Chain A
Amino acid sequence: MSRDAMLLVDALREPASTCGLDAQGWAALLSMARAERLVGTLAARLASEAVPGRVAQTLADARTDAGYQRRAALWEADCARRALADYDGKVVLLKGTAYVAAGLTAGEGRHIGDLDILVAREDLPQVEAALLAAGWEWVKPDPYDDAYYRDHMHELPPLIHRTRDRMIDVHHTILPLTARRTPDAVGMMVDAVYLPSRLREGLGVGPRSSIAVSGPPPTPPASGRGELCALSQPDMVCHSVAHLLADGELDGGLRNLWDIHCLLSEFAGADFWTQLRERASHHQLAEPVGRAVRLAHQLYGTEIPQDWMGQHWQDRYYAARMTARDGWGRQTRKLLRLAFYIRSHWLRMPPLMLARHLWVKWRKGQASA
């Protein structure tokens, strides 16, 4: 495997590895990190390293930006909480917003774009109506896309807020309905834990919180209404893995794998690894979870138990795909990326359906051209 973005992987895994970098090396590292949306994470990791003066300033800029993204993400989550204050069911934060709201290391310096929430599928009409009433509106008012999302996807078509210009993705499960694997979304909702309500002030929480420490989950507030949740520890890892390996083409793979590395390192403990094994097979995600654990270990040096170790002949292609980025921030390994692109569609839907979908999309493209 050629090196490519291993420079970035090494810097994240072992911050001291950057001490030998020259100006050229730093320029390459920063461009890779920005392209992979990991520059805030890198800046957080290098906070106590001695780096050249200009680099220190660039990293300080990245920390400023990560602080803003964290603030904006928590604010947006709180806006959703208020919009759904009359809704009785659980509202579960996913991905980046969940990590910062729960005070997890995966959230440190993390880039956060859209707000992702998970709600019970049968409650979608109620949740949708509440969000529309609170100022969110549809991004793509296209009947085919709308029907496609509703019939086959794991989320509503994306909504954007009229005045704040921020997107929300409302999920009802974690993989497309047409995907070969069908995780148990209902079980995930049942196990989801309430976040400390300090989030309500839009301030977020300290570096560690109930979800990070082991022990019984916090008792839900009296009614549970108007409080936000996060997935249980093993389910959080399962979702992160589903997002990385069972869906999509591994774009942004290094960042998603870094999330997984942080979650595994923070949750680690004998019970956790057993629970993870159980939950992964329960969600039909045993194989991708096993692979993600191995890849995190191989790339980021995550400490994992002996029985999770091993090597599959395909692992190296995943690693090569994830590090396909050169020192100018350009994507490399075109054929490999194409292969993973085809794979992502293969995983998402059966071949006949894929053919029909591409046909409709192509005709629409022709019509609008």
Chain B
Amino acid sequence: MHEFRVQVGPAAFRIGSAWRAPIAQMAELYRDYPHPDFTDFTVRLEPAGWLRRWLRPSVAIGGDYMLPDAAPLPLAQGLLAAEMAMNLQMALGWRRHLLLHASAVERDGRVLVMTGQSGSGKSTLSALLGARGWRFMGDEFVLLDPESGDAVPFPRLISLKNSAIAAMQASAPDARFGPLLDGTPKGDIRHMVPPSDAIARMGQGGAPALLLFPRYGYPGAVREVAPGETFMRLTQASTNYVALGEAGFTALTRFVTSVPSRAIDYQSGEEAVALVEKLWERLA
């Protein structure tokens, strides 16, 4: 096994791969992250069948926690396989925080959380804001500390999809990008290394101040979302709400009663950024 260790926010991973290429790509993209001795989770990239190490090599997504029916990926998408496996370890194994499937950015110690289905644009929006004076905290998971109520960063590589790739390359020309992975189950994917302050300050959380439910592709609009609805939508957006029991309920109740929330529709990144700034000014 080729091995690589990396820490993202509070979580440390050990990645083992039957091939060198995915490990080399990770080592390059994660070069500024800490490389810890002790790890929380193990991720394995292994041949999907006994011939698949050499012949049309194909990566089975494995690790401490696995989905029984996860489809293998071609070796060219090994980096994506590793990222998916790391997300899976968090979703199924992390119990120290309430995990929300959301992106987040921070300003003046206060955190903007954005959640929504895949395709809502929460990932792209967090990357855009990260290039415009906000601190990027994560595009996949926001971790809520049950003790303090703070949002803790999980700034893994930003996963850009399809049209967002060119948009971000234009917005952040100095950023480092991984290889273009075309023809993945989610279309074209390209990973982007988060801005350096996101990595340097990945141990610092902040108090959540505003929650947005962005939706891409609809004429610009803002709607209020009542705490009851927010609560229900966040239980759906959390991978460990049920497993945390009372601690999860308490953390989520505190979040929805102290953080204002809005649903926003938008048709372009520029429009969304302007909308976010306006709401932040007024509500946070």
- B-binding residues in A (CB < 8 A): 22-23, 26-27, 30-31, 34-35, 52-55, 57-58, 60-62, 64-65, 67-68, 71, 328-330
- Could you tell me the distance in whole angstroms from the C-beta of A115 to the nearest C-beta in chain B? 17
Contact A64/B244 with A27-B14, A329-B44, A330-B44 known, Cβ cut-off 8 Å: yes
Docked-complex contact B42 and A329, CB < 8 angstroms: yes
Docked-complex contact A67 and B245, CB < 8 angstroms: yes
Provide 7 A-B residue pairs closer than 8 Å at the C-beta atoms, listed in order of the A residue.
A27-B38, A34-B65, A54-B12, A54-B38, A61-B96, A71-B245, A329-B63
Q: Is B93 an interface residue (CB 8 A)?
A: yes
Docked-complex contact A23 and B37, CB < 8 angstroms: yes
Q: Which residues of A contact B247 (CB under 8 A)?
A: 64
- Could you tell me the distance in whole angstroms from the C-beta of B71 to the nearest C-beta in chain A? 16
Interface size class of B (residues with CB under 8 A): 20 to 34
Q: Is B64 an interface residue (CB 8 A)?
A: yes
Name the residue on A nearest B244 (C-beta). A64
Docked-complex contact B94 and A61, CB < 8 angstroms: yes
Q: Is B242 an interface residue (CB 8 A)?
A: yes
Interface string of B1-40 (1 = CB under 8 A from A): 1000000000010101000000000000000000011111
CA distance A26 to B44 in the complex (A): 17
Name the residue on A nearest B247 (C-beta). A64
- Could you tell me the distance in whole angstroms from the C-beta of B8 to the nearest C-beta in chain A? 14
- Could you tell me the distance in whole angstroms from the C-beta of A50 to the nearest C-beta in chain B? 14
- A-binding residues in B (CB < 8 A): 1, 12, 14, 16, 36-40, 42, 44, 46, 62-65, 93-96, 242-245, 247
Docked-complex contact A64 and B95, CB < 8 angstroms: yes
Contact A65/B65 with A26-B38, A30-B42, A55-B38 known, Cβ cut-off 8 Å: no
Docked-complex contact A68 and B242, CB < 8 angstroms: yes
- Could you tell me the distance in whole angstroms from the C-beta of A212 to the nearest C-beta in chain B? 26
Interface of A is mostly: helix
User: Per a CB cutoff under 8 Å, which of A27, A61, A330 touches B93?
Assistant: A61
Name the residue on A nearest B50 (C-beta). A334
Docked-complex contact B40 and A328, CB < 8 angstroms: no
Given contact pairs A61-B96, A68-B243, a sample of 13 additional A-B residue pairs in the complex whose CB atoms are under 8 Å apart: A30-B42, A31-B42, A57-B96, A61-B94, A62-B95, A64-B243, A65-B95, A65-B243, A328-B1, A328-B42, A329-B42, A329-B44, A329-B62
- Could you tell me the distance in whole angstroms from the C-beta of A126 to the nearest C-beta in chain B? 32
User: Per a CB cutoff under 8 Å, which of A23, A30, A60 touches B96?
Assistant: A60
Q: Which residues of A contact B38 (CB under 8 A)?
A: 23, 26-27, 52-55
Docked-complex contact A328 and B16, CB < 8 angstroms: yes
- Could you tell me the distance in whole angstroms from the C-beta of A22 to the nearest C-beta in chain B? 8
Docked-complex contact A23 and B245, CB < 8 angstroms: no
Q: Which residues of B contact A31 (CB under 8 A)?
A: 42, 64
- Could you tell me the distance in whole angstroms from the C-beta of A19 to the nearest C-beta in chain B? 15
CA distance A27 to B63 in the complex (A): 12
Docked-complex contact A30 and B245, CB < 8 angstroms: no
Name the residue on B nearest A67 (C-beta). B245
Docked-complex contact B64 and A35, CB < 8 angstroms: yes
